[in-house]
Amino acid sequence: MLRYVGNLVSGVLGTLAAEAANLEGVLLQAKGSLDEADSAWDGPDADAFLNEVDSQMIPGVAALLAALLGLRLRIQRAAEIIVQADREAAATVQQARQGFERIR
């Protein structure tokens, strides 16, 4: 059972890593395109759009990326704790088994 869950967790962590990479690409592309758009598009609409991208979209994507990476780390840490607890429980059971075998 634990192996199955471990495989699921690995899949989730891989998906989160891939999505984080996608978001990093979006963030870099958005930052890089601000200068290009600023030089290619003039007027109040252009200024409003570029300001919105710079003040809302980029920070929003950065916050989403940080949350995604934080979630990935927390899931990974929880999985490590579960594996450690399983090892400790198995060791306790093994010690108890050995103790009972000595009694016989």
C-beta of residue 61 within 8 angstroms of C-beta of residue 30: yes
For 44-91, what is each residue's pLDDT tens digit?
A: 998 899 999 999 999 999 999 999 999 999 999 999 998 899 999 999
Examine residue 104 and state whether it is found in any structural domain, yes or no. Answer: no
Q: How confident is the model at residue 1 (pLDDT cuts 50, 70, 90)?
A: low
Give the angle 92-93-97 at the CA atoms, nearest 5°.
Answer: 120
Residue 12, C-beta contacts closer than 8 angstroms, at least 6 positions apart:
75
Q: Assess if residue 103 is contained within a domain.
A: no
Domain membership flag for residue 102: no
Q: What's the rounded mean pLDDT across residues 27-47?
A: 87
Q: Is residue 100 part of a domain?
A: no
Decide if 61 is inside a domain: yes
> pLDDT over 70 for what percent of the chain?
96
Q: Which residue has the higher pLDDT, 28 or 4?
A: 28
Residue 97 has pLDDT above 70, yes or no: yes
Mean per-residue pLDDT for 22-43? 89
User: Token pair 């103790």 is at which residue?
Assistant: 99
Domain housing 12: 2-95
Phi, psi at 42, each rounded to 5°: -115, 160
Mean pLDDT of 22-51: 89
> Residue 47 is part of a domain; what is its CATH number?
1.10.287
Using pLDDT thresholds of 50, 70 and 90, give the confidence band for residue 36. confident
Structure pTM?
0.77
Number of domains in the chain: 1
Domain assignment present for 69: yes
CA 1 to chain centre: 24
